[in-house]
Structures are given as C-alpha cells and as structure tokens.
Structure 1
Amino acid sequence: MTTHAERIAPVAQQIAQFHKTQTPFRIYHGSTNSTRQLPLTQTNTISTAHLNNVLSVDPITKTIRVEPNVPMDALVAATLPHNLVPLVVMEFPGITAGGGFSGTSGESSSFRHGFFDATVTQIEIILGNGEIRTASRTQDPDLFAAAASAFGTMGVVTMLEIQCRDVAQPYVELSYLPAPSMPAAMALFRALTADPKVDYLDGIVFAKDHIVVCAGRLSPPPDPSSPNPNPNPNPPKIQHFTRPQDPWFYLHARKSAPPYSPSSPSPQEPTKKDLIPLKDYLFRYDRGAFWTGRYAFSYFLTPFNRITRYILDYFMHTRVMYHALHASGHAAQYLIQDVAVPYAATTAFLEWLDRKQNFGAYPIWLCPLR
C-alpha cells in the first residue's frame, strides 16, 4: 500500500508542470455533490480521486486526519469506534471532507460549531506552483484562513485534521416543535440555541404558517430493565431513516408536528419525540435528498407513496441521484441554492420567497449557523 506522501507526490508534480506551462486546470475528485456541470478533459484535469484514505484517529486530541475524498459516512465510521464523532457532519453520506472545507457546508450542529471548515484544525495543501505546505491557525494562518471556502482557488487540499467530540451516547433524542410563523420559529431557535443540552438544531418550512423546528440531544439507548421514577405516557420510540421501509425524514417531520392552531399544544412544547440511532440522524436527509427526490416521481409520472418509495429506494439515495442528475443532463435545469440570512431578516425574506413570481415553492430548510 502506498503512503500518503507517495500518493500526493504525482499531484504536486503535475501541478508544478501546469504552473510551468501556465496551463489552467481543474480538479477531478471522482464524485460530486454539486449540481453544476463541469467541462473536464485529460489535458486540463488533475485527479485526486485516489486521495480517499483515513490516515489516523487520535483519541487524546479528539481529532481525525483524512485525505480530502473521504466521505462523511466513512468519516463517521472511522470515529465512532473511538466514541468520537466530528463536530459537524454534513447531511449526505457522499459529501467529502475536502468538499466540506473548500466549499461552504453547514449542518444542524453548526449553531454550536459553525461551518464545517471551522472544525478543521490543520490542512496540507499544494499551492499553484506545486509547493506542498502545512497550514493551521498557528502555522501559516493567513493561508489556512484563505483556503477555507475558497473552492480550490488557493491550492489543492490533500489532508485535513478535523476536530471531534466525545459521543458515548449512540442515539439522538429528537423533538419536533411546530411554529405558526417565521417569528415564532426564530424565537424557538434563539431559545434552543441558549439551551446547553441541545446538540442539534434545524427546521423545515412547509408553509408560511407551518414550520417544524427539530431539536436534538445525544441520548443513551433505551433500557427496558431500568426503573423510571417518572413514567412518560408517550416515551420516545426508536425511529430509523436509512432503511427502505423507513419514512423519508421530511415526511415524518411534517406528520410529527402538524400545523399549529389555537387548539393545538403550545408551540413551546414538543408534540413528539423520537429516539434515532446517531448515524440515522446524521444522514436522515440522504433518502430523497431532503425532498428533491419527489421531483423524480413527478418526472416519471410515478405514484408517490410508501410502497413506491420502498420499491425505488435504491435510486433515491443521494449518491445515485447525483449521478443520475449529471448523466441525464438535468443538472442544467435544476438549482439548489443556500442563502445566509440574518435572524432579523428571515420574516421579510420568507415573505419575498413566498411570492410565486420570486419562488413560491416549499419546503425550505432552515439551518441556524454560528
């Protein structure tokens, strides 16, 4: 097996040659979670597809070192045996560590820890002239800061050291809280952000008057033999989201917190709680790619129900869906857009989005960021 240094040496040599001949080039990662089509040829492309190895896990510093094409599911699989999990894990299992750093990636733990790049403590990067450098907050900090979210323009990242946290509890207890308006949802976000027991936080806008805020905390597995001094008449039930027979997460969230009305419970009280295995929670949006998988059913005039979702489950995972999107040429017809909006502007922004001439489509994902 080749060493990491042996794997990156040809990449550095090729970049140096492109620099010598002043040839612009692109990077081929082997897979993509982008909806954009990129023109790639053998004469203008450097492949880093082979840089997909986990290098080390350090339980003392709670860090993991990986090459850039290690995907999120492999990252989690490497850390969990050490009772660790990365501070931020993107919602699709095929998103890579390098893509999360060089792009701008957030998830439901980002209200605590910021974007994924904020959890990276050190990088190795090949500059445009072929020079291999190491950068961190203390070593070459300007380069380290500039490389984050730079989409590869500062150089080719070849190694990342990522901060993790202890995770002795293998489940997430998730509460679904309905909100009747964007101001009410923002009030919930602010209150839950201030609660140190909350580890994960996001939301889904199904309509202007139907918003579901999802708040999660790490939790131990249920123990039927343990006496409960305060028995709960509706204890959390174990819920999965990664198997063919499981519901798509957004459909389950909508059902778990129906639209708020004066006769409903207070929006400050969760209407339902689930106990979700950690990996199921982290990749809960994989099946159906949030809700965009529903467009495939409409495109092929296929009924959208529990049975058809079960039968077509293989095709509804994001790795397959992204491949189909690019192979079909439909990438030019669809747009996925992330927008950062201050809390104070969310209501006005939703009002603008709600107009048919501007957007007028739901659901919309809400992800509070630090």
Structure 2
Amino acid sequence: MSLVVAPREGRRHAAAVARLQASYAALPPGAPVRLAKTTTNLFRPRVEVGTGLDVSGLDGVLSVDPESRRAEVQGMCTYERLVAATLPHGLIPLVVPQLRTITLGGAVSGLGIESTSFRSGLPHESVLEMDVLTGGGTLVTCRPGDDLFDAFPSSYGSLGYATRLRIELEPIGTHVALRHVEFPDAGSLAAAVEEVVATRRWEGERVDGMDGVAFTPTQLRLTLARFGAEPGPVSDYTRTGVYWRSVQERETDLLTAADYVWRWDTDWFWCSRAFGLGHPVVRRLWPRRWRRSDVYQRLVALDRRVGLVDRLDARAGRPRRERVVQDVEVPVEALGEFLAWFDREVGMRPVWLCPLRLRTSRAWPTYPLEPGRTYVNVGFWGTVPVGPGAEDSPLNRAVETKVSELGGHKSLYSEAFYDRETFDGLYGGPELAEVKRRYDPDDRLTSLYDKVVHRR
C-alpha cells in the first residue's frame, strides 16, 4: 500500500531529489560519484574525491502511518530523527541500530543490527520499497525480488544511493523492562539464545529484545527486554550512571523506550572510557549534549589525522598498537570456540553479543547468511599492543581467517584485508558485478572491493 505524504513534504522531497540529480549531471564525465557528506559511521579511511552529490533536504521523515505501521523516510534521515517521529505513536522501526546518526540509507546499504535482530533480522528486511539513484544517474524504484533491491544490502554505495524508503514499524510502548541474566560460560549462554529464538520467551516471560556482554570468559550476561512494560521508576544512564556497568551490576531494570533505544549511544558502548568518562569527575564536567557516539567518533577521527596517541606511545616506549574494530557474525554453536580463540589471540574484553537470524527465507547475495540459522554478532572495538608489524594488521587478518573458518561473516563498515578472490566468494562478487554492470554501465561508482579493501 502507498502512504499518504503531505503535499508540502512531497514537494520538498521532489526538490531535494532534483538537486541531487542536478549535482550528478554537473560532475565531469567519468568523474567518480560519491555523496557530499560531512559525517560517517564507517571505521575505515577513504580517499577524498572532491565534489560530491548534493544530499541536502534528503534527511527527513515524510510520513508515519500508525494504523498500517509504515513510514516513508528519506535516505539520509538518521535513526535519531526517525525514532523521534515514531515514538509518539508508540512505534519504532523493526531494527534500530545502536548509534543515533546512522542513516536509513546507510543501514540498508551497509549493515545494522540490534537486540530485535534475533526475530527481525537486518534493517533491509523490513524495507517494502525504495528509490535508488544509480551510478548511471537514473532514479529507480525497486522492491524485494528486484535485482537492484536484492543486491543493495551490504553494497555500501557501490550500486547507488537510496533517496526514499518505505519501511515497517512495530509497537514498543513507553517503557521497556530488562532482565540481565548471568551465565558462567559461552556454551550456556548460547543454549539460552537458542531457547529464546525458538520460544520468544525466557522463564515464562516474553522476550522482545536480546543482546548481551561477555565481560570475562566466566562472566557473561544476556539482556532480555520486554516492550510495553508498565511505567514506574526508571534509570537514566545519560547522567552519572553508565549503562554497560548496569548490565554487569543489576539483575533487572526499567528504561523509557527512548533511553532503551539509545542505551548504547551515550557511552558508545564502553568506548567512552578512552576519553575518561568512566571517572565520576570527568563525567560530571563533560556536557551531556556531548555524550554521543558522533562526538566520540569525531575525536577519534581527529586523533587519526594528527597521530597523537601513536606519538605518545612512541615517546613512552610502549609497543605500537593495532586498531581492532570489527563486528562479526559466527554461528551460535561456534560462539564458545570463537571467544576462546579471541581471548588467546586478541585478548580484548568486554565484547558485545547480539543474536541474529534472518527474518525470512530470502538469502541476500552480498551478505550471504544462511536463512534459518542463528548467528551471534560479536562486536569488539579498541586497540591492542602488537609492536613491530602493527601496520600490517596481523590481528585483523587473523580474525578474518577465523571467522571464515567457523562459517561466519563480518561486516564491512571497518577495515578489511581479503584478497579479491576470497572477497568475491564471501560477498557475492559475481552477482554484485552483474547488477553493477546493469545500473552503473560506465563504472562511475567505486566497486565494493575498492571501497572496503583499497579504501577508495
């Protein structure tokens, strides 16, 4: 069904699309095509290519229909803006990635995952229709089953850019009740995940969201969320409290729906520790409006440009560090083996755990998880001292090898090191190339391999 978009919003959207297409037409013949964006949630460097496409005015919510539970959204709209429009109706998208400034188009062309992914899969699985500006400069409306639509997930802009998406929504209510269930090892946690996936319940109570944290090899916690909980006294982790610490310290909790959706963003999971926000004094002095993932991301980007941490380590005689920032999916039955290997070879804790299962029986060629199989996303973000050879990224390369060995997959938002043959085998290279030839015949868009491995 079509949603009713207010005439004013429709005109605004049409004008924004016209600007986008005009900026494409103004590019010199043969010039590479890229969005003119000032922000990013990617964790891999890229080469700047000069003038980009004008995406101004493509960052809004066009329509929310509470009755059909549908929304019409522009491609550059952030989840923060979308959730602000849907929560007054007690609704949210089926999957809301953890970071506020991830865009709808970015999540669908890249990868998004959250606590509802054990039942709702990935963000692109709840898209009903989208408009895509292709590498050939045409605007194509596509739906599930179309070649462009099916190849678009995990294509990271190598096939085009979404300008409009029609998506499904689901109820969340005003409050979310949490249970933090402790497990002594990865095997027992994996068994609990399989039970919740099969029954959508734990100890008789409905489970709407499920994710967890592995603090140590013998202290793992699975957080089970129930939407639509009764109102009551709530926790607020945007102030002195820290959400990830509460997972370790509490058995139950109650959050507003908004605070639940953005519970990880305030401290960028636990990565805000690098800026001292775990210290009570620093936390009090750090303005609340700056406790956001995009602020921390800009600080990290600044350090990468100036190399301050590397210079301080060198001056202090500390070994060179390798940045290990990855999200990987491993089959649930292989979780224990992967974490044991990870502790021996990488040694980074805590790590995030988020069960995932494709929502339907449809396979996606550019991110070929197996339908009907349960995976667990393992997220780890930090640096590890490795000494000489850190620039060759030995730990990241080892992670890639181990994940493939276990039948898993890894997201491409961060650095990748695969050779071309391996990469094409893992990420649907032949299928992607065929669709790219059709919609980008002059090869104006950077290929997926060049984007994520060569960082172009």
TM-score w.r.t. the length of structure 2 is 0.68
Question: 3-state DSSP class of the match of 2:329?
Answer: coil
Letter in 2 for 1:337: Q
Give unmatched runs, 5+ long, in structure 2.
1-7, 201-205, 308-321, 358-456
Counterpart CA distance in 2 for 1:309 and 1:334 is 25
Matched, 1:279 2:273: no
Percent identity, please: 30
1:165 Cα deviation from its structure 2 partner: 1.0
Confirm or deny: 8 A CA contact 1:16 1:129 kept in the other structure: no
Letter in 2 for 1:13: A
Counterpart CA distance in 2 for 1:348 and 1:216 is 27
Provide the residue aligned with 1:195 in structure 2. Answer: 199
Counterpart CA distance in 1 for 2:64 and 2:273 is 38
Matched, 1:26 2:34: yes
Alignment of 1:157-168 (within 5 A): 157-167=162-172
1:16 Cα deviation from its structure 2 partner: 4.4
Question: 3-state DSSP class of the match of 2:53?
Answer: strand
Provide the residue aligned with 2:3 in structure 1. Answer: none
Confirm or deny: 8 A CA contact 2:110 2:155 kept in the other structure: yes
Provide the residue aligned with 2:424 in structure 1. Answer: none
Which stretches of structure 1, 4 residues or more, deviate above 4 A after TM superposition? Answer: 330-333
Letter in 1 for 2:303: S
Matched, 1:122 2:135: no
Matched, 1:336 2:325: yes
Match of residue 152, structure 1, among 157, 168, 171 = 157
Matched, 1:359 2:333: no
Counterpart CA distance in 2 for 1:289 and 1:166 is 25
Counterpart CA distance in 2 for 1:146 and 1:114 is 16
Provide the residue aligned with 1:310 in structure 2. Answer: 284
Letter in 2 for 1:248: V
Structure 1 residues 81-129: Cα deviation after superposition (integer angstroms, max 9, x where no partner):
2232111111111111111111111100000100111121111101111
Letter in 1 for 2:132: I
CA separation of 1:304 and 1:172: change in aligned 2, threshold 3 A: closer
Match of residue 301, structure 2, among 326, 333, 343 = 326
CA separation of 1:89 and 1:151: change in aligned 2, threshold 3 A: same
Provide the residue aligned with 1:98 in structure 2. Answer: 105
Question: 3-state DSSP class of the match of 1:3?
Answer: helix
Alignment of 1:167-206 (within 5 A): 167=172, 169-196=173-200, 197-206=206-215
Counterpart CA distance in 2 for 1:220 and 1:212 is 21
Counterpart CA distance in 2 for 1:49 and 1:322 is 22
Counterpart CA distance in 1 for 2:349 and 2:229 is 34
1:75 Cα deviation from its structure 2 partner: 0.8
1:313 Cα deviation from its structure 2 partner: 4.7
CA separation of 1:97 and 1:190: change in aligned 2, threshold 3 A: same
Question: 3-state DSSP class of the match of 2:112?
Answer: coil
1:244 Cα deviation from its structure 2 partner: 2.1
1:40 Cα deviation from its structure 2 partner: 2.4
Alignment of 1:247-258 (within 5 A): 247-256=241-250
Alignment of 1:292-311 (within 5 A): 292-297=271-276, 304-311=278-285
**Higher helix content, 1 or 2:** 2
* Aligned residues: CA RMSD: 2.1
**Greater shift in the superposed pair: 319-328 or 100-109:** 319-328
Structure 1 residues 143-182: Cα deviation after superposition (integer angstroms, max 9, x where no partner):
1111122101111211111110133x21111000000000
1:5 Cα deviation from its structure 2 partner: 1.3
1:9 Cα deviation from its structure 2 partner: 1.5
Counterpart CA distance in 2 for 1:70 and 1:3 is 14
Matched, 1:347 2:351: no
Counterpart CA distance in 2 for 1:89 and 1:313 is 25
